[in-house]
A and B are shown apart, each in its own frame.
Chain A
């Protein structure tokens, strides 16, 4: 919902924005434990760090000296994470981390205090195909263009949550405005749509990057040209992670302009990381999630483009 309002309101804007550098209150530099682990056969990382003053643009450095484990609560298997230079890591040998349907506990012991978080490893549907469509010029894009769409069907049974990550020509679509999450086939748990193909907004809107033209305000490059490719990964996420990412979008996706009318006040995003000591006074942020991953990709060739054009009746 917000996306469409944002686009409209940015186009309306007679407003103006200036960058400012206000004096902020002192940073608390709290403990951050962030672990987005997947079943991909690659190095799995847990980040333990400190928050930094808001205008400090450096990359956070690893807080050393923590013990990090992930335990499969269904089987009792414990995965020990090694301390590396930039993260605590675990390398899969012949099998991926975890099993679909099991619940995992992340445990981080640091400074005499133990923190833990739970996550259930959910199931994930296959990516069916990547489609390309031909579009006439519109109020955002000044020339006719191709848009991409991935097709996948939500698994039957309510309560699945997914995070769809996309890469255009191998570049990850990393903007906060491109965070693409689904609850079953729909946009949120309160709008439950189960067991169907993902909603068009999920299939299409977030995988077509809108990069602004350098010289014209409110207009964008065509998302795809002949020769471009799209690769998507569907990560199953814990329903709590869906809630977390919704909070992340609220707090990070600030396109400015008139959309600020619809912005919510700045507030802290929730966390599922807790101290095991009930009376602990340590502030902690970050999130632990376990994902199964499916993927698919496709390039728009001239033949595919011509077909798309013919489908559009052009």
Chain B
């Protein structure tokens, strides 16, 4: 294996020799003029070579050219273009600050020189949203939301209201890696998915990789959601906030030392409980129902070569019925990063971060009789990464990652009549490491490639090694033996090569075709057999019984801009094939179960689909239409085995989040300079569910029965919904020489009050029946939101 690596490296290094004559480098940071925020992915285009580079996630770029005179165009979406003429006779450091397109302009001026980013970029199967776009969308309860917004784009869906997380291209919620300033966030939802944990006031950039995933990311099968926090305004103080129906927000940012160092601190708290308390006695005696989060970041620009960032997040949801009963969950993350430049071509970043997700619940009326359960997953991570801007045609990215996981599946006890019994489960540790290398290479003016490999290694360390015997698939596996291992002794280890490649061929200035392949491996698994993913799902590392999930994806796409850049269009197809997908035996006991592996099944999965996207960028009416045709299936022995009573060999079945059609329309219309309307419409095919065929009586109860043990043999009705909002700018601020600006948003969620189904379930009647009397059985369709939800939010900034 090593030889392959060294060989590849030599090949790449050979590429550096291609540059002829004297070569010099232009490098620097690209920032927003108004607040000093780095412009992630801003473009540097050199007219003379019809090519260029893009700034990395810290806003750094570097381009090496032969001696000469060059015209540079620097551009970024929503910002005016900057043109520079450079006489290149020596290495040049060129830090530029771009001016945001004037907010008063009705349309963003589009220059014909600007390159068509969506067409020209190597990236496919990615979604990048600027906060400006997110802020314009009508939102649930009037609150803009990062996760709700990405669900309006192709390939991203959820199974409905009340579900935490999101599904990407037919993958499960636990197959998404959500990163906040590189630290993993295990639970991305507040209030069972009605809001995401990311405070929009503190978020700068949101990027979702659905396919063609670069080598620097790994560890999940379906997608990477990379959320970058604002650095904080290093020019002047800003206070922004909002007062909404469900919660209020406040963010403060400003320079610590002008142009050198800045900070941002942003918080939110919901107050439904505060408002409701006077009207109900349900929330007496210490009861509460709320969430809060706090996001903070600071950075220090030490000198031209060194920069340090520190950021953190803390959030919590609490549902308590009284002082001693209830449940709660929360994420904590902390990230320290150091950017260092070696010369002007090699950019490095070293990140160390910590992430913790803890959750639990308690019940019992007093100290003598109670039950407490808490669980957590912690991550300590170190991640060095290097961008080597070799020459105009090659940019090398390489680095490594070491993650130490700590799992605490149950820290639990029961107290009976004052006698406490500890029912905790052993902690688990695991180490996941990876090294990666990739090259962005311009093969010709038309052909561009990004290729590389990630090598990942996982080691489950210490604790009990359990072995189970073989049994009929779908039946609890018998425990054969338990061996205690030393604290850092290996229980099981796995390693995988994950090749990744993307190609782009430019057909014309305004159209291109792209193709990509990626392989992903996932070593930790979200264990959930409930209808929807919930905040109390546990995470389980791979061990000798649970193999890592493996996924492959190929995707192809056609990208075309029409009418300058007025319309962006794209069409993509993808096919995914996965193995070692986790499912559960019927009636699995997953909660506080030391022998959880005996309840798990393993199978293969496949998903494929077509994604269409049209976006209108300019004019009074802007917006997009997104359509996904998709299919997502699993085949697991022991599930859906029909009449194969002997071997229980499974047949393919649709996953819970399989959606055939998914249509999203978002529209924005500027009525006047101050008043704008927006609306979005969603249509999703009904998701699969299992309906019974028979009923029988046992022990006095009516029990449903599914012929052939079918799984997901029916679909709930389709989901559709229209939301609308009206925004009025400068209601008070910005008038009569008052500084800053503000806007008020009136929104209605579910405008035509559709009772969208969440699930259909079957049960016997709830009335008390006499024994031996016939029991009624019925099917019920449940809608979590059965009405329209109006909201008003006032937002300000000064």
Across the interface, do B768 and A252 meet the contact criterion of CB distance under 8 Å? no
Stretch in A66-74, A117-125, A280-288 touching the partner: A280-288
Contacts of A200 in B (CB 8 A): 364-365, 369-370, 416
| Chain A residues near B713 (CB-CB < 8 A) | 25
Report the Cα distance A265→B636, complex, angstroms: 15
A196 touches B531 (CB 8 A): no
Known contacts A16-B783, A20-B760: does B771 contact A174 (CB below 8 Å)?
yes
- Contact in complex: A191, B784 (CB < 8 Å): no
B798 CB within 8 Å of chain A: no
CB-based contact A265/B689 at 8 Å? yes
Query: Is the CB–CB distance between B781 and A57 below 8 Å?
Result: no
Determine the distance from Cα of A1 to Cα of B412 in the docked complex, in whole angstroms.
Answer: 12
Specify the chain B residue showing the minimal Cβ separation from A176. B701
Tell me whether A21 and B768 are in contact (CB under 8 A).
no
Q: Which of B319, B712, B780 has the most CB of A within 10 A?
A: B780
Q: B3 at interface (Cβ–Cβ under 8 A)? A: no
Across the interface, do A25 and B593 meet the contact criterion of CB distance under 8 Å? no
Q: Which residues of A contact B763 (CB under 8 A)?
A: 176, 252-254, 256
Considering residues A171, A262, A265, which has the most beta carbons from chain B within 10 angstroms of its beta carbon?
A: A265
A257 to B782, CA, bound (A): 7
Residues from chain B with Cβ under 8 Å of A220 in the complex? none
Name the one of A19, A27, A55, A57 contacting B774, with C-beta atoms under 8 angstroms: A57
The answer to the question of B775 belonging to the interface, with a C-beta cut-off of 8 Å to chain A, is yes
Please, how many angstroms separate the alpha-carbon atoms of A175 and B776 in the complex? 12
A246 within 8 A of B: yes
Indicate if A85 sits at the interface (CB-CB under 8 A): no
B contact residues around A187 at 8 Å (CB) = 414
Which of B162, B321, B373, B702 lies in contact with A252, CB distance below 8 A? B702
Q: Which of A22, A30, A49 contacts B697 (CB 8 A)?
A: A49
Interface members, chain A 149-172 (any B CB < 8 Å)? 171-172
Cβ-defined contact, B698 with A248, below 8 A: yes
Q: Given A190-B594, A252-B764, A21 and B779 touching (CB < 8 A)? A: yes
Assembled-state Cα–Cα distance A51/B697 (Å): 8
Residue A303, interface by CB 8 Å: no
With A14-B785, A199-B416 as contacts: A27 and B694 at CB distance below 8 Å: yes
A156 and B419 alpha carbons, distance in the complex (Å): 15
Confirm or deny: B89 has a beta carbon within 8 angstroms of a beta carbon on chain A: no
What is the bound-complex CA distance between A119 and B758, given in angstroms?
A: 40
Question: A130 at interface (Cβ–Cβ under 8 A)?
Answer: no
Q: Which of B699, B714, B762, B764 has the most CB of A within 10 A?
A: B699
Interface size class of B (residues with CB under 8 A): 35 or more
- Any chain A CB within 8 A of the CB of B692? yes
Least Cβ–Cβ distance between B98 and chain A, in angstroms: 45
B591 at the interface (CB under 8 A from A): yes
B755: A residues at CB distance < 8 A: 16, 18
Cβ–Cβ contact B645 & A172, under 8 A: no
Q: State whether B711 touches A139 (Cβ < 8 A).
A: no
Is the beta-carbon distance between A267 and B690 smaller than 8 angstroms? yes
Max count, chain B CB within 10 A of own CB: residue among A54, A175, A193, A201: A54
- Complex alpha-carbon distance, A179 and B699, angstroms: 10
B791 CB within 8 Å of chain A: no
Indicate if B705 sits at the interface (CB-CB under 8 A). Answer: yes
Given contacts A51-B696, A54-B777, is CB(A8)–CB(B319) below 8 Å? Answer: yes
The smallest beta-carbon distance between B593 and chain A, in angstroms, is 4
Which chain B residue lies CB-closest to A11? B282
A25-B713, A285-B705 known; A60+B696 contact, CB < 8 A = yes
Say whether A114 faces chain B, with CB atoms less than 8 Å apart: no
Asked if B707 contacts A252 (CB within 8 A), the reply is no
Does A24 lie at the interface of the complex (its beta carbon under 8 Å from any beta carbon of B)? yes
| CB pair B784 A34 closer than 8 Å | no
Q: Which residue of B lies closest to A246 (CB)?
A: B587
Residues of B contacting A19 with CB < 8 Å? 778-781
Q: Does A305 contact B (CB under 8 A)?
A: no
A311: Cβ under 8 A from any B Cβ: no
**What separation, in Å, do the CA atoms of A188 and B549 have in the docked complex?**
30
Q: Which residue of B lies closest to A287 (CB)?
A: B698
Which A-chain residue is minimally distant from B366 (CB atoms)? A200
Report B-chain residues with C-beta under 8 Å of the C-beta of A1. Answer: 361, 363, 371, 373, 591
Which one, B708, B711, B758, B772, contacts A260 given CB within 8 A? B758
Contact among A18, A196, A251, A260 with B419 in the assembled complex (CB-CB below 8 Å): A196
User: Taking each of B689, B762, B783, which has the highest tally of chain A beta carbons within 10 Å of its own beta carbon?
Assistant: B762
Question: B486: CB under 8 A from chain A?
Answer: no
Residues of B within 8 A of A196 (CB): 416-417, 419, 421
Is the CB of A266 closer than 8 A to any CB of chain B? yes
* 8 Å CB contact of B699 from A25, A28, A36: A36
In whole Å, how far is B607's beta carbon from the nearest beta carbon of chain A? 19
Q: Is the CB of A57 within 8 A of B776?
A: yes
Q: Which residues of A contact B363 (CB under 8 A)?
A: 1, 4, 201
B725 CB to closest chain A CB (Å) equals: 20
Partner of B361, one of A5, A32, A53, A59: A5
Q: A22-B691, A190-B592, A287-B698 are in contact. Are A17 and B783 (CB under 8 A)?
A: yes
Given contacts A188-B589, A270-B587, 10 further A-B contacts (CB under 8 A): A22-B714, A25-B691, A25-B693, A58-B774, A191-B412, A209-B768, A254-B762, A258-B162, A265-B656, A283-B645
Instruction: List 17 A-B residue pairs with CB atoms under 8 Å apart, sorted by A's residue number.
Output: A5-B327, A14-B784, A25-B693, A32-B696, A59-B774, A186-B414, A186-B421, A191-B423, A200-B365, A211-B768, A248-B699, A251-B703, A260-B761, A265-B529, A267-B690, A279-B646, A283-B707
Which A residues have a C-beta under 8 Å from some C-beta of B? 1, 4-5, 7-8, 11-12, 14-22, 24-30, 32, 34, 36, 47, 49-60, 137-139, 171-176, 179, 185-188, 190-193, 196-201, 209, 211, 243, 245-248, 250-258, 260-270, 279-281, 283, 285-287
- What 9 pairs across the A-B complex have the smallest Cβ distances? A200-B369, A16-B786, A267-B586, A51-B694, A28-B707, A247-B587, A51-B696, A254-B763, A266-B690
